Amino acid sequence: MVITIVLFPFPLQGHINSMLQLARILHSLGFNISIVHTQRNSPNPHNFPHFTFNSFPDGLLETEHASESDLLAFIMRLNVSCIVPFRDCLQKVSSNDSEDRVACLITDAVWYFSQAVADELKIPRIVLRCTSISSISAFSALSALREKGCLPIKDSEVDKAVPEVLPLKMKDLPVVHEKNPEDLQQILANTGRETRASAGLISNSSEELEGTKLAGAQEAIPIPFFVIGPFHKYFPASSSSLLVQDMSSISWLNKQKPESVIYVSLGSIASIDEAKFQEIAWGLANSEQPFLWVVRPGSICGSDWLEHLPSVFLEMLYGKGHIVKWAPQQEVLAHQAIGGFWTHCGWNSTLESICEGVPMICMPSFGDQKVNARYVSDFWRVGLHLEDKLERGEIERAIRRLMADPEGEAIRDRAVRLKDKVDQCFKEGGSSYRSLDSLTGFLSSL
Ligand code: UDX
């Protein structure tokens, strides 16, 4: 009898990528894969012919999007509107499966409502955390810090170290600037409680990267942990991209010198204002370093795409810069022309860069990105942190430091050594190899 596992991704790009990569890993181990998903941001079933896909309408209006400014409200609304349609869908999937047994449900941690549904249908639930282990600890520390009166962060304390979660400083705590700060407390409380009630936690990280942080996270969440990442390294890149990836990125990179290009992308949610956009553009141009820049439509407040870039900007680049709406990021980072990644430090982007040995310039926006950025710059020391005001002169200097200075050379060496270290985790006896083995045994025993 084949064992079926039902996976339920949260409908945001970074979260969908991790869940579908996990699905591919489990499928390769012989499990049957059934994906239950919202019709919103649906993955393309044609790219995963071996999986069964079951979708349901999430009950929100088409116009209700997950933007940086109301992400938490979006998460909370979905956790209410999906209860009934998800339960109906899961019930159908589990009763349809006449020959194969549904052994468990794996959901994104953010789907905290799904624990009650799993309990009701008597299906064990395992949680996927799409963030780093260090972020789990940082999120867990927030309520105690709030009780101690440390939150909201005081201007005079932004650079103060946080002893509970070193090497983080107060300004790195994963708070989100929201209209309703209580929303974050509510989501963290719900996510924490329902994760502790689940049968186990799967992490897209590796002990080679965050082994020293694992015990602390497990203390906060005393359930079995399976640290089996980085997921994307198990297979060549697969497409769970919600936007069309512009392949001219690769043909343009083919014409550039090895390690000469800085790749710039701020992920799928972060947005910037027009003034910052102009500083980035001029900082890139003035650095005189070739660049590949992803400007996601809608990511600049108040404009559709590049209409506010003066035409003189593009003319003065003389082909040194290439701007696309969305890139095949994994292939880009693996390209020999790439010498650095200016990133918002989403966890997927951070892992993808580490796994290619590409040093980073960190410009985190919100939430766990700030934790990841501090780890990149101060813990693994494989990148620079753009901490001061975003200004073209600072940007130009940071790019030169990373791409042309001896300091950048040292950072690059460390990035290559970190990549080699992470490569070990998949080999026999490596931490992710062993943990995947335990996960297989665990799933088979359910
Ligand atoms: C969100 C949060 O912002 C992040 O902090 C959290 O850790 C996961 O969820 P996102 O902002 O999209 O994710 O960032 P990230 O985690 O880096 O995921 C983006 C994904 O989109 C990556 O897998 C990346 O390869 C892909 N991508 C990005 C593309 O395929 N093309 C692009 O042009 C840019």
The overall average pLDDT reported for the chain is 93
Q: Give the pLDDT band (50/70/90) at residue 182.
A: confident
Our answer on whether the CB atom of 269 is closer than 6 Å to any ligand 1 atom is yes
Cβ–ligand 1 distance for 294 under 6 Å, the answer yes
Instruction: Report whether residue 369 contacts ligand 1, using a CB cutoff of 6 Å.
Output: yes
Averaged pLDDT, 283-308: 93
| Statement: residue 99 has pLDDT above 70 | no
Nearest protein CA to atom 29 of ligand 1, as residue: 329
**241 Cα: distance to centroid of ligand 1 (angstroms):** 10
Which residue CA neighbors atom 27 of ligand 1 most closely? Answer: 329
Instruction: Kindly give the distance from the C-alpha atom of residue 266 to the centroid of ligand 1, in angstroms, as a whole number.
Output: 8
Using a 6 Å cutoff on CB, does residue 267 contact ligand 1?
Answer: yes
Instruction: Classify the C-alpha dihedral 110-116-121-123 as positive or negative.
Output: positive
What pLDDT score was predicted for residue 151? 87
Q: Which of 105, 203, 136, 134 is nearest to 438 (CA)?
A: 203
Decide whether any atom of ligand 1 lies within 6 Å of the 352 Cβ.
yes
Say if residue 114's pLDDT is above 70: yes
What's the mean pLDDT in 376-383?
Answer: 98
The answer, yes or no, to whether any atom of ligand 1 lies below 6 A from the CB of 374, is no
Which ligand 1 atom lies nearest to the CA of residue 333? 25
Q: Which of 115-129, 169-183, 208-222, 251-265 has the lowest mean pLDDT?
A: 169-183
User: Which residue, by CA, sits nearest to atom 12 of ligand 1?
Assistant: 268
Judge whether residue 100 has pLDDT over 70: no
The minimum-distance atom of ligand 1 relative to the CA of 296 is 33
| pLDDT above 60: residue 313 | yes
For residue 143, pLDDT beyond 70: yes
| Cβ atoms of residues 99 and 70 within 8 Å | no
User: For ligand 1, is residue 368 a contact (CB within 6 Å)?
Assistant: yes
Max mean pLDDT among 85-99, 140-154, 341-355 falls in 341-355
**Residue 96 scores a pLDDT above 90:** no
Task: Please determine, for residue 176, whether its predicted confidence score (pLDDT) is greater than 80.
Answer: no
Position 178 confidence tier, pLDDT thresholds 50, 70, 90: low
> Quick one: pLDDT at residue 186?
93
Task: Determine the pLDDT at residue 98.
Answer: 59
The answer to whether 132 and 210 have CB atoms below 8 angstroms apart is yes
Q: What percent of the chain has pLDDT over 90?
A: 83
**Same fold across 3-238+425-445 and 248-423:** yes
pLDDT at residue 66, rounded to an integer: 72
Question: What's the CATH architecture for 248-423?
Answer: 3-Layer(aba) Sandwich (3.40)
Q: CA 431, 436, 439 angle in degrees (round to 5)?
A: 130
pLDDT of 177 above 80 = no
Ligand 1, pocket-test mutation among 241, 324, 349, most atoms within 8 A of CB:
349
Burial of 367: CB neighbours in 10 Å, binned 0-12, 13-18, 19+: buried
* pLDDT digit string, tens, across residues 59-76: 888 777 777 778 898 999
- Whether residue 292 is predicted with pLDDT greater than 90 in this model: the reply is yes
357-382 mean pLDDT: 97
Percent of the chain beyond pLDDT 70? 98
Pocket-testing residue among 329, 354, 355, ligand 1, by greatest number of atoms within 8 A of Cβ: 329
Residue 29 falls in which region: left (phi positive, over 0), alpha (psi -120 to 50) or beta: alpha
Domain ranges (residues) in the chain:
3-238+425-445, 248-423
CATH number of 3-238+425-445: 3.40.50.2000
Q: pTM (2 decimals)?
A: 0.96
SS3 track for 207-273: HHHHHHHHHHHHHHCCCCEEECCCHHHCCCCCCCCCCCCCCHHHHHHCCCCCCCEEEEECCCCCCEC
